[in-house]
Every structure is written in structure tokens, then in C-alpha cells.
Amino acid sequence: MTGASYSLYASTSSMTGARTVLIVDDYLDALDVWSIYLGTEGFRVLTASTGRQALSIATAELPDLVVLDLDLPDLSGFEVARELRSHAATRAIPLIAATGFSHAVQQDRARASGFDAVLVKPCDPDALLVEIHRLLAAQGALSPPPIEH
């Protein structure tokens, strides 16, 4: 992220009416992989590598969903989630915690901090996509993906 406060990835054909996902992770390779993948799936993707960037982007852009690493260099994902949940404009945005810790205590703490779902990293991009569709469909913001037989 050279010189910009955030990056935007999306296929040009999907920009009209695309749902916006903000991905926050200080591991830039994860940002790239998830951003490119979700962009090819028709999402408008914003990225941030710090908690403060995430808060700034979330309040300015009001994404449809946020995928948030719990271990960030400045603010923890827990702090970012609590901050987003404390403001009317960002309170209802679905939050997915992305964590390298798979134990139940960490997952329970994430849910108590306001996360709607928890994914353990490394996370398969398809699993992330399924969770995004599930949460957006629950809000009526996206039709659920077709069931493959």
C-alpha cells in the first residue's frame, strides 16, 4: 500500500452494484490473495493493514462487511470491533474475525467483542466466500450462493 490510505481491488465488470468488503490484515500476502479472489467473485474490496486505517475506511466507506485480523500492529481487532459496534453508522456491519488462534477462548472473546463469525487462518478463500455470502444473505444484502449438487 504505497502512499495510499487504502487499496481497492475489483473486477471492472463488477463495480456496478457490487457489495463492498473491507479486509484488514497486517500480513500483506493475505490481503492480496483475499482481495484478488473476492474481486474476481464480483466484490468491491477495500484493504487496510492497521486498526486505525480500518476505522477510517469503515466510517468513510461504510462497507457491507469487514474481515478483520485480531492481531494488528496498532489496535487489536477486538478494539476495532468494539469501536465499530459503538457507532450508529457502523454498528450493523457484519464482522468476520480472522485469527491464527483456534482455541475456543479466542473465538468466544471475538464473539463477545461483536464479531458475527470467526475464521481460523490460514483460511481457504472459498471458506471466506461462503461466510461472506452467509452473513450478507442473513442481512438481505445478497442472495445466498446456489447449492451445488
The answer to whether residues 71 and 29 touch, using CB atoms and an 8 Å cutoff, is: no
**pLDDT beneath 50: ranges in the chain:** 1-16, 146-147, 149
What pLDDT does 125 receive? 87
Retrieve residue 28's grid coordinates: 500483506
What pLDDT does 22 receive? 98
The rounded radius of gyration (Å) of the Cα atoms in the chain is 14
In three state form, how does the secondary structure of 66-114 look?
EEEECCCCCCCHHHHHHHHHCCCCCCCCCEEEEECCCCHHHHHHHHHCC
pLDDT digits (tens, 9 = 90+) for 13-25: 344 478 999 999 9
Indicate if the alpha-carbon torsion angle 101, 104, 110, 111 is positive or negative: positive
Q: Give me the residue spans of the domains in the chain.
A: 7-138
What pLDDT does 10 receive? 43
**Domain boundaries 7-138, CATH class:** alpha beta
pTM: 0.84
